[in-house]
Amino acid sequence: MAVATEDIKKYLPEHYKKVLRLIPEGSAKPIQVSEIEKLTGFSSQRIRSCVSDSIITYGILVATSNVAGRSGYYFPETQEDIEATIANMNSRISYLSKRVQAFKNAPDPEQMDFDFLD
Protein backbone atom coordinates (compact mmCIF):
# COMPACT_ATOMS: atom_id res chain seq x y z
CA MET A 1 0.00 0.00 0.00
CA ALA A 2 1.57 3.27 -1.10
CA VAL A 3 1.17 6.29 1.14
CA ALA A 4 0.84 9.85 -0.16
CA THR A 5 4.09 11.84 -0.17
CA GLU A 6 2.78 14.43 2.29
CA ASP A 7 1.71 11.67 4.69
CA ILE A 8 5.14 10.07 4.41
CA LYS A 9 6.82 13.36 5.30
CA LYS A 10 4.43 13.82 8.20
CA TYR A 11 4.39 10.30 9.68
CA LEU A 12 7.67 8.66 8.72
CA PRO A 13 9.70 8.24 11.92
CA GLU A 14 12.87 10.33 12.13
CA HIS A 15 15.14 7.28 12.43
CA TYR A 16 13.66 5.94 9.17
CA LYS A 17 14.41 9.27 7.51
CA LYS A 18 17.96 9.14 8.84
CA VAL A 19 18.48 5.76 7.16
CA LEU A 20 16.64 6.57 3.94
CA ARG A 21 18.55 9.84 3.38
CA LEU A 22 21.73 7.78 3.03
CA ILE A 23 20.38 5.54 0.29
CA PRO A 24 21.45 6.62 -3.21
CA GLU A 25 19.33 6.69 -6.34
CA GLY A 26 20.29 4.07 -8.88
CA SER A 27 22.15 0.79 -8.74
CA ALA A 28 25.60 2.16 -9.65
CA LYS A 29 26.72 2.72 -6.03
CA PRO A 30 24.39 1.08 -3.52
CA ILE A 31 25.11 1.60 0.17
CA GLN A 32 25.84 -1.36 2.39
CA VAL A 33 24.24 -1.89 5.78
CA SER A 34 27.69 -1.71 7.41
CA GLU A 35 28.18 1.80 6.02
CA ILE A 36 24.75 2.90 7.26
CA GLU A 37 25.68 1.45 10.67
CA LYS A 38 28.82 3.60 10.78
CA LEU A 39 26.99 6.75 9.72
CA THR A 40 23.96 6.38 11.99
CA GLY A 41 25.15 4.30 14.92
CA PHE A 42 22.12 2.04 14.38
CA SER A 43 22.39 -1.74 14.53
CA SER A 44 22.11 -3.73 11.32
CA GLN A 45 18.86 -5.20 12.61
CA ARG A 46 17.38 -1.73 13.17
CA ILE A 47 18.47 -0.61 9.69
CA ARG A 48 16.97 -3.67 8.01
CA SER A 49 13.77 -3.16 9.99
CA CYS A 50 13.56 0.50 8.90
CA VAL A 51 14.05 -0.45 5.26
CA SER A 52 11.60 -3.34 5.39
CA ASP A 53 8.93 -1.27 7.13
CA SER A 54 9.50 1.62 4.72
CA ILE A 55 8.72 -0.75 1.85
CA ILE A 56 5.77 -2.55 3.42
CA THR A 57 4.09 0.24 5.41
CA TYR A 58 4.95 3.37 3.45
CA GLY A 59 5.37 2.00 -0.06
CA ILE A 60 8.88 3.43 -0.37
CA LEU A 61 10.69 1.17 -2.80
CA VAL A 62 14.20 0.38 -1.63
CA ALA A 63 15.97 -1.99 -3.98
CA THR A 64 18.74 -4.39 -3.05
CA SER A 65 21.68 -5.84 -4.89
CA ASN A 66 23.94 -8.76 -4.02
CA VAL A 67 26.24 -8.27 -7.00
CA ALA A 68 29.87 -8.48 -5.94
CA GLY A 69 31.30 -4.96 -5.65
CA ARG A 70 27.84 -3.42 -5.96
CA SER A 71 25.88 -4.88 -3.07
CA GLY A 72 23.60 -2.86 -0.84
CA TYR A 73 20.51 -0.67 -0.85
CA TYR A 74 19.50 1.86 -3.48
CA PHE A 75 16.38 3.57 -4.78
CA PRO A 76 15.36 2.03 -8.11
CA GLU A 77 15.48 4.29 -11.14
CA THR A 78 14.28 1.83 -13.77
CA GLN A 79 11.95 -1.11 -14.18
CA GLU A 80 15.10 -3.22 -14.58
CA ASP A 81 16.18 -2.17 -11.06
CA ILE A 82 12.83 -3.35 -9.72
CA GLU A 83 13.01 -6.62 -11.65
CA ALA A 84 16.56 -7.25 -10.42
CA THR A 85 15.41 -6.73 -6.83
CA ILE A 86 12.48 -9.10 -7.30
CA ALA A 87 14.86 -11.73 -8.71
CA ASN A 88 17.20 -11.17 -5.76
CA MET A 89 14.32 -11.62 -3.28
CA ASN A 90 13.01 -14.71 -5.10
CA SER A 91 16.48 -16.26 -4.91
CA ARG A 92 16.53 -15.67 -1.16
CA ILE A 93 13.04 -17.13 -0.79
CA SER A 94 14.13 -20.23 -2.71
CA TYR A 95 17.20 -20.66 -0.52
CA LEU A 96 15.19 -20.21 2.69
CA SER A 97 12.56 -22.67 1.43
CA LYS A 98 15.28 -25.29 1.00
CA ARG A 99 16.46 -24.68 4.57
CA VAL A 100 12.89 -24.99 5.87
CA GLN A 101 12.48 -28.26 3.97
CA ALA A 102 15.71 -29.61 5.49
CA PHE A 103 14.29 -28.94 8.97
CA LYS A 104 10.98 -30.56 8.05
CA ASN A 105 12.82 -33.66 6.82
CA ALA A 106 15.21 -33.82 9.79
CA PRO A 107 15.05 -36.66 12.30
CA ASP A 108 13.95 -36.10 15.87
CA PRO A 109 16.64 -33.88 17.46
CA GLU A 110 16.91 -36.29 20.39
CA GLN A 111 18.05 -38.97 17.98
CA MET A 112 20.59 -36.83 16.15
CA ASP A 113 24.26 -37.61 16.59
CA PHE A 114 26.72 -34.74 16.55
CA ASP A 115 29.84 -36.87 16.96
CA PHE A 116 31.07 -35.62 13.60
CA LEU A 117 32.09 -32.44 15.43
CA ASP A 118 34.72 -34.23 17.52
Q: What average pLDDT does the segment 31-44 reach?
A: 97
Fold type of domain 5-105: Arc Repressor Mutant, subunit A (1.10.10)
pTM listed for this prediction: 0.80
Q: What is the mean pLDDT of residues 43-62?
A: 96
Beta-carbon contacts of 1 under 8 Å, excluding residues fewer than 6 positions away, are 57, 59
Domain parsing of the chain, residue ranges = 5-105
Instruction: Report pLDDT for 8.
Output: 76
pLDDT digits (tens, 9 = 90+) for 68-109: 788 899 999 999 999 999 999 999 999 999 999 999 998 888
pLDDT band at 34 (very low <50, low <70, confident <90, very high): very high
Instruction: Please name the amino acid found at residue 66.
Output: N
If pLDDT is split at 50, 70 and 90, which confidence band does 2 have? low
Give residue 116's pLDDT: 77
HSE-up (13 A, CA, CB side) for residue 27: 19
Residue 25 DSSP one-character state: B
